[in-house]
Structure formats: C-alpha cells, structure tokens
Amino acid sequence: MIGVPSVVIKDGEMMLKEIKKAKLTTGEVEVSLRQNKVGNIKDVDLAIFESNGKLSTILNNEQAAATKKDIQMTLDVLANNGFRIPEEKITEGKTAPLFERSL
C-alpha cells in the first residue's frame, strides 16, 4: 500500500470499507496485529495502516503497557495508604529475599 494512511480498526472493530479501499484483506490486518503482539482485536482503540505498509496500533487503556508515570502513581497510592515497600538486602554480592520467614 502506497499513499494515504488508513484507519482499519476503530474501537476494536474492523473498518471493512477502509480495509477494502486500501486493497487489503482482513487476514492481512490480522497478521499485522499478531506481528504487533496484539492477541485480541477488542484490545485495539485504533489501528492505522501507514503509507509505508506497516500497521500502527494504539491499545485501549486496560491493555496498554504501564508507563513510569503509571507505576509511580501506583507507588504513591500505596505509600499514602501506609504500605511500605521493603528494600532488598545485599550480602556478599548476593541479593537476599525481600521477605524473610520468621520461625
């Protein structure tokens, strides 16, 4: 495909008219999804076949990878609720378990 980018998936649904207009098959779209490590079309908010022939995917919020900001917000919530994240002990170059069992 050479030309204008085409939106081929929107809100987890294939846009069949756009796929046909781009001279693609649904099978080709599915292959591209798998190559992008997308296992379920319902996880995709938007998928665009770019003019270079590659598929760009934007996953919905529940499936998108966590960012540093997401993780920091989670840690802040835990800290505000009184949960303390233990630090590892390093002894003789080896990492000790985070939690040691008391007898």
pLDDT tens for the chain, residues 1 to 103: 457 899 999 999 999 999 999 899 999 999 999 999 998 999 999 999 998 989 999 988 776 666 777 677 776 776 677 666 555 555 556 655 555 544 4
Residue pair 49/5 in contact (Cβ under 8 Å)? The answer is yes
Residue pair 44/57 in contact (Cβ under 8 Å)? The answer is yes
Q: Please tell me whether the overall predicted TM-score, pTM, comes out greater than 0.75 for this model.
A: no
Looking at residue 10, what is its pLDDT? Answer: 96
Q: Which CATH number applies to 6-59?
A: 3.30.240.20
Residue pair 26/14 in contact (Cβ under 8 Å)? The answer is yes
Six-digit token pair at 1? 């495909």
Six-digit token pair at 13? 């649904």
CA distance 86 to 43: 34
DSSP string, 14-33: E-HHHHHHTT--HHHHHHHH
Six-digit token pair at 95? 């990492």
